[in-house]
Amino acid sequence: MNLTDYFVNLNLYVGETSRDDCPKCRKAKTFTATNMGAYILYNCYHADCNFSGKVQDNINKSSFKNGKVKVVKEEFDANNHFYVDITRDERAVKYLKSANSFDAYCDGRVKIVYDIKQDRATFLIFKDRKVVDACGRKLGKYGSKWHRYGSTKLPLIVPSKQNSRTAVVVEDCASACSVSCLHNGVALLGTYLTDEALGCIRKFDSAIVCLDKDASIKSIQIAQQIKSFMPVRVKILETDLKNLSPDKTKEFFNFD
């Protein structure tokens, strides 16, 4: 296991903590990693797992920029990955349907492919009609839940099916697809609002911030950053957005 690559893929900001399945014992949601600035502190809280410690590889003074660990990656090239049509893998289709993302894919509002090598349903990120990045959701048992392929800091944007001018700011790709049945889904691919993501959000007329319930404080902080440019409100989630059907999504946002 290459711990450095694992933590680089988490792309944590200084002070940010990630909670995920343990890469060693595979227990669900027992593993945390925190960017302490000079190193990554990690620990599995499962009683039968002693996986803990800290990693300092590739994290030094030259790695910092504006308080964030600067992740140096090669320029993303979609041709370097083993992508096939998403419908070639039944598990991928099943995942998209369970996460209310399949309609957005079928409508052409989002491009999703299957990464054979990493066994992921991979959401492609575009800029000026060119694929510049991607984010993949694991389908098997191994690997981090989400993998960011490039380092553009751009969000995934899934256009609204209803021609809405409202951006719904969410954490992950599937949630962005799910809410796009009403509004424009903007997936931050985490809980940090980058300048690039803010620039994309500013193209809309209003915004709603809907991060996961355990990131409510971050939701408020992000709304504060957006409110200088447009009307914005925060919706606290009780249920993950990607688990809501279109009717339930409509009810949640009080869509008329």
Under the banding of pLDDT at 50, 70 and 90, the label for residue 60 is very low
Structure confidence at residue 36 (pLDDT): 67
| pLDDT tens track for 116-143 | 888 999 999 999 889 999 999 999 888 8
Q: How many residues does the chain have?
A: 256
Structure confidence at residue 256 (pLDDT): 44
Average pLDDT rounded to a whole number, residues 164-190 = 97
Q: Is the pLDDT at 165 greater than 90, yes or no?
A: yes
Under the banding of pLDDT at 50, 70 and 90, the label for residue 182 is very high
| pLDDT tens track for 143-160 | 889 989 888 999 999 999
Structure confidence at residue 241 (pLDDT): 94
Residue with tokens 């308080």: 67
- Number of Cβ within 10 Å of residue 152's Cβ equals 17
Under the banding of pLDDT at 50, 70 and 90, the label for residue 73 is very low
Under the banding of pLDDT at 50, 70 and 90, the label for residue 68 is very low
Q: Which of 53-57, 186-190, 250-254 has the highest mean pLDDT?
A: 186-190
Under the banding of pLDDT at 50, 70 and 90, the label for residue 79 is low
CATH architecture label of 78-252: 3-Layer(aba) Sandwich (3.40)
Q: Is the pLDDT at 193 greater than 60, yes or no?
A: yes
Structure confidence at residue 64 (pLDDT): 40
CATH 3.40.50 residue window(s) in the chain: 78-252
